Amino acid sequence: MDFVRYEAYTPVERPTYQAELDEVVRNVGRSTRESVERQGVGRSVRTAHGKTYGLVKATVTVGELPGPYAQGMFAAPASYDAVVRYSNGLGHLRADSLLGAACGMGIKMFGVPGTSLLTDEAEATTFDLNLINNNVFFANTAYDYMVIERLFAELPDALVNPARRKSWMGEFLTRQGTLETPDEWLWDELFAMLSFVKVPRKNLFSYTYNSMGAFRYGDHIAKVRTVPTPDSPAGIGHGGVDVLSDGEAFRNTLVAEAGERDHSFELQVQLNADLTRMPVDNTSVEWPEQLSPWVTVARIAIPRQDISGDENLAAADGTSITPWRSREDHRPIGEIQRVREEVYRRSSIERHRLNGQPRQEPASSAELLG
């Protein structure tokens, strides 16, 4: 199979990009500061992935891989100490019944060689992956992010309120009336947003988690996901997540599962085989598997462990995950990925400042979890 070469991709350069990015960063900074009062917990809360469910120790093991998949940090067999942070996708601290089912799996690996793409921590040995339990995203440009950031703050309330639902979707589709004709409206993005409503509520260890955005993969271009290993779901003892009877159902089932048995995931990549049918700059379109299959490049082992204490949530809250804590061979690509670089960085800096938390990358899982 012929895969697209990394150099064949040409980034889209829009003249309004920088001004829009600057506005996004200002908006996120303001929302981060306002969250101290808005969330009512006496500290700043992330504008996305605000509610933490837990932080677990893990090991990521890279095996022997065939030709095009043996790239970058996956070029040779290796084993990495790691932590995994589970969270809700929204920026609220509420009972789970008042949040959606979009949940994140943030992976931080330690001891990865090479220079980090984040220039203010170039010597850090950490390598992050930001993943969520859906395969498409609903924003593709800095302008999208600028408008959606305001609308996103209304979720999930806007979609369950009959008086607000239609107008909210209209504002989303037309970018608050700035796109005038149906040909301009963002149908892909709207369908991507609505697909999150269909995500079932279930044990956090049983989801497939996706990067949605694309990355350089050495000589090629890829997306990344995790899937439970074939034997892992069969061992889950707490499959159902009843958010109506338990406002902390996601957290409680995660604690129970982590404390009772080992769990494991396969880390997989999908190499780009056609830039037209597998677009880099439209994350609202799923890449067809018939064009390029998902291939396992590593295994994530999560051993049995106790994460029930408040100190676990505190460690998770202080852990920063960004797709730009990476290496050149795995550089995030596409406009929405470029937006994330500065948005995530500035949000992390502001949140840690407001909360009096040191912002320094740990050297190991033991440094976070003992």
pLDDT beyond 80 at 109: yes
Report strand pairing: 332-333 vs 295-302: unpaired
Q: What is the mean pLDDT of residues 343-360?
A: 90
3-state SS, residue 90: coil
In DSSP notation, 212-260 reads: -SEEEETTEEEEEEEEE-TTTGGG-S--B--TTT-TTHHHHHHHHHHHH
Q: Please give the pLDDT value at position 60.
A: 98
Q: Please give the pLDDT value at position 273.
A: 98
Q: Please give the pLDDT value at position 159.
A: 81
Q: Please give the pLDDT value at position 154.
A: 83
Give the list of residues 6+ apart from residue 23 with CB closer than 8 angstroms, or none. Answer: 146
Compute CA distances 209 → 27, 116, 132, whole Å. Answer: 28, 24, 5
pLDDT beyond 90 at 110: yes
pLDDT beyond 90 at 259: yes
Closest CA to 340 of 348, 328, 329, 350: 348
Cα 264 from Cα 63, distance rounded (Å)? 15
- Per-residue pLDDT of 149-199, as tens digits, reads 778 778 888 888 888 988 998 998 898 888 889 998 989 998 998 898 889
pLDDT beyond 80 at 242: yes
Domain range summary for the chain, segments of one domain joined by + = 6-137+201-369
| pLDDT tier, 239 (very low <50, low <70, confident <90, very high otherwise) | confident
Cα 51 from Cα 102, distance rounded (Å)? 11
Q: Please give the pLDDT value at position 310.
A: 95
Q: Please give the pLDDT value at position 360.
A: 87
* Contact in structure between 226 and 300 (CB atoms under 8 Å): yes
Closest CA to 149 of 51, 34, 272: 34
User: Domain 6-137+201-369 carries which CATH code?
Assistant: 2.40.180.10
Q: Which residue has the higher pLDDT, 78 or 236?
A: 78
Report the amino acid identity of residue 78: A
Both tokens assigned to 261:
């048995």
Q: Please give the pLDDT value at position 221.
A: 98
- The chain-wide mean pLDDT, for the chain, equals 93
Cα 14 from Cα 11, distance rounded (Å)? 10
- Per-residue pLDDT of 292-338, as tens digits, reads 999 999 999 999 999 999 999 999 998 999 999 999 999 999 999 99
Q: Please give the pLDDT value at position 234.
A: 73
Report the amino acid identity of residue 23: E
| pLDDT tier, 238 (very low <50, low <70, confident <90, very high otherwise) | confident
Q: Please give the pLDDT value at position 312.
A: 97
Q: Please give the pLDDT value at position 223.
A: 98
Q: Please give the pLDDT value at position 158.
A: 84
Q: Please give the pLDDT value at position 68.
A: 96
pLDDT beyond 80 at 204: yes
Q: Does residue 323 have a cis bond before it (omega within 30 degrees)?
A: no
Q: Please give the pLDDT value at position 163.
A: 84
Largest CA distance in the chain: 56
Cα 35 from Cα 47, distance rounded (Å)? 8
* Contact in structure between 326 and 332 (CB atoms under 8 Å): yes
pLDDT beyond 80 at 22: yes
Q: Please give the pLDDT value at position 151.
A: 82
- Per-residue pLDDT of 43-93, as tens digits, reads 999 988 999 999 999 999 999 999 999 999 999 999 999 999 999 999 889
Cα 190 from Cα 353, distance rounded (Å)? 35
* Contact in structure between 117 and 325 (CB atoms under 8 Å): yes
